[in-house]
Each structure stands twice: as structure tokens, then as C-alpha cells.
Amino acid sequence: MTFFKYLGYGWFILLAAILANGAVKQLGGTTWYDYIGNMPKVGVKAATASLNPLEALFLFVLYPGLFGLIVYMAVSRN
């Protein structure tokens, strides 16, 4: 039973990631896929420097914070 509980958490996190990436793409922002895909072309430093402050905030604070919140909510329910 525990396996299915954690599988459900994983699916929920995956769904949240897909929705977050879709929303950011619709707004014209940079997703992790864009950021990491740009690294081999221009290097880590240039890829990071190309982010505007809002994109950096999303990638390094809001995105991980969203998943941290999801995990917190899942764990605190039990």
C-alpha cells in the first residue's frame, strides 16, 4: 500500500511540473528544459546570465518551492 501512496505523490508532482512548465511557456518564460538545453550551446555562465530576474526567481525559488510545498502538504496529511 505504501508503494501506491508514493506513486500517487510522484504522479501529483509530475502533473504539477507539467502544468508549471506549460504556464511559464505560455507566458514566454524560461523553463528548466530551456535553461539546461541552452547550457551545452553557450555554457553554464552565459546560460545563467541570459536569464532575466523573473526567470531566475521562477527557476531557483518558485519552482523548487512549489514542489517543496507539495511534499510538505503530502507528508503533513499523514
Q: Evaluate whether residue 2 is within a structural domain.
A: no
For 19-39, write each residue's pLDDT tens digit.
999 999 999 999 999 999 999
Sign of the dihedral defined by the CA atoms of residues 57, 62, 63, 64, in that order: positive
For residue 78, what pLDDT is reported?
61
Kindly tell me if the per-residue pLDDT of 5 is higher than 90.
no
Number of domains forming the structure of the chain: 1
Q: Evaluate whether residue 1 is within a structural domain.
A: no
For 34-68, write each residue's pLDDT tens digit.
999 999 999 999 999 999 999 999 999 999 998 88
Q: Which residue range is the domain that position 38 belongs to?
A: 10-76
For residue 10, what pLDDT is reported?
87
Q: Evaluate whether residue 5 is within a structural domain.
A: no
